[in-house]
A and B are shown apart, each in its own frame.
Chain A
């Protein structure tokens, strides 16, 4: 059995992280899943949430992703994210301000499309807030 999973986090603009981990916890579209070495082949949607890289029994890095797709093969775990920010760099106050702004947007939106976009942005931002408030896993 392989010891580590090769992990890559890529945004359209660049390769954000490329490294190894004992386990990678991905917020999948239908529930979080952990990727260990020799995982079966899987392509999954990613919902807004926190992605964790575990190494030596503790959480190495916590990164907020705003959605995307993940491809898992026995050797690798690749996450294609729209936007990714390390949880440490999130600013709770700013996020709260954005949430209230977006709530106003949802109320003020004239068309269904506007409302949908605003609601989606609100969902992502709320997930971002949950990411900052949730206590670290350990």
Chain B
């Protein structure tokens, strides 16, 4: 049985752990709000981009020779899997879930006879995947959110991917990240980046007089598309990274909330145990004194 002193130290240590977890929870809550605001602010750009790409693709349909980023390289032998995870732990099942999904995907692709390459964004994904799929990992990008998650960081990753694609290192690129549903639920999502799945043409453009509106293009459609597609890739990555950041903070908030609650349960149990032990000790001492007095 632990001594009173040991119990006291134990209670103090759990209390300080609780202080840390509750502070982390509050920090995560603040960061979550900021991440959500950032995701909100990035929405208009992505929406306009999507609409423009829709009209472009619609007008390019008749031409036939669309760029490979849009229609693919004509093969699907080699897959690049981009795994977006966090750099830091202590966020519950966040990274585990993403990595599990990635692992399933890799197994499934390998079973289909495809070659798989992995690009890790975030330290934790690399840490968990390298033991099993170390030879598949082509690169790891860390510290994307330092000092702040900015578009330029996503753009760098985008360029990296496009350079790989241009050199024929892969045919299909899929991004795995956690979509933010709420602070409690994050949904691991796979998104195909290359070839890019064009959304349906915006309804707004078509409503004028019932015929699809014809845009003028300056320079030619192909040229604009050649410039827009890489940028769109970066935008998609940027959005996914923002979602991921929000999910990470949400997961951390929930995890830390649970940890704080567990700590207070533990403190309660320990305190009860401590008091019992203290009383037992007092009783024992009393018995000793009384029996000592009786013996006289």
Contact = CB atoms under 8 A, between A and B. Distances in A.
B3 to A, nearest CB: 58
B41 A13 contact: yes
Given A12-B151, A14-B42, A45 B219 contact: yes
B38 A44 contact: no
Contact of B217 (A11, A12, A44, A82): A44
Given A12-B151, A30-B219, A69-B52, A45 B227 contact: yes
Interface stretch (B43-51, B126-134, B258-266): B43-51
Interface in B223-253: 223-224, 227-228, 231, 234-235, 238
Given A41-B213, A45-B224, A80-B49, A12 B238 contact: yes
A30 B216 CA distance: 13
A43 B45 contact: no
Given A43-B55, A44-B217, A80 B48 contact: yes
Interface string A29-47: 1100000000011111100
Contacts of A10: 44-45, 48
A43 B151 contact: no
Nearest to B213: A41
A80 B48 CA distance: 8
Contact of A15 (B44, B55, B163, B218): B44
A29 B218 contact: yes
B268 interface: no
B41 A14 contact: yes
Identify which of A12, A14, A45 gathers the most chain B CB atoms within 10 Å of its CB: A12
B214 interface: yes
Interface in A1-39: 8, 10-15, 28-30
Interface string B17-55: 000000000000000000000100110111011011001
Nearest to B204: A73
A44 B218 contact: yes
Contacts, number: 75
Interface string B50-73: 011001100000000000000000
Contacts of A43: 52, 55-56, 215-218, 224
A71 interface: yes
Contacts of A41: 213-216
B218 A45 contact: yes
Given A41-B214, A45-B218, A12 B48 contact: no
Interface in A56-97: 69, 71, 73, 78, 80, 82
Contacts of A8: 44, 48
A29 B221 CA distance: 13
A8 B49 CA distance: 13
Contact of B42 (A12, A42, A82): A12
A13 B224 contact: no
Nearest to B56: A43
- Which of A30, A71, A80 has the most chain B CB atoms closer than 10 A to its own CB? A80
B26 to A, nearest CB: 26
26 contacts: A8-B44, A8-B48, A10-B48, A12-B45, A12-B46, A12-B154, A12-B234, A12-B235, A13-B42, A13-B45, A13-B150, A14-B45, A15-B41, A29-B219, A30-B218, A43-B56, A44-B217, A45-B219, A45-B223, A45-B224, A45-B227, A69-B52, A69-B227, A71-B48, A71-B51, A78-B48
Given A10-B45, A12-B45, 16 more contacts: A10-B48, A12-B154, A12-B238, A13-B38, A13-B150, A14-B41, A15-B45, A28-B218, A42-B218, A43-B217, A44-B217, A45-B218, A45-B227, A69-B52, A73-B213, A80-B45
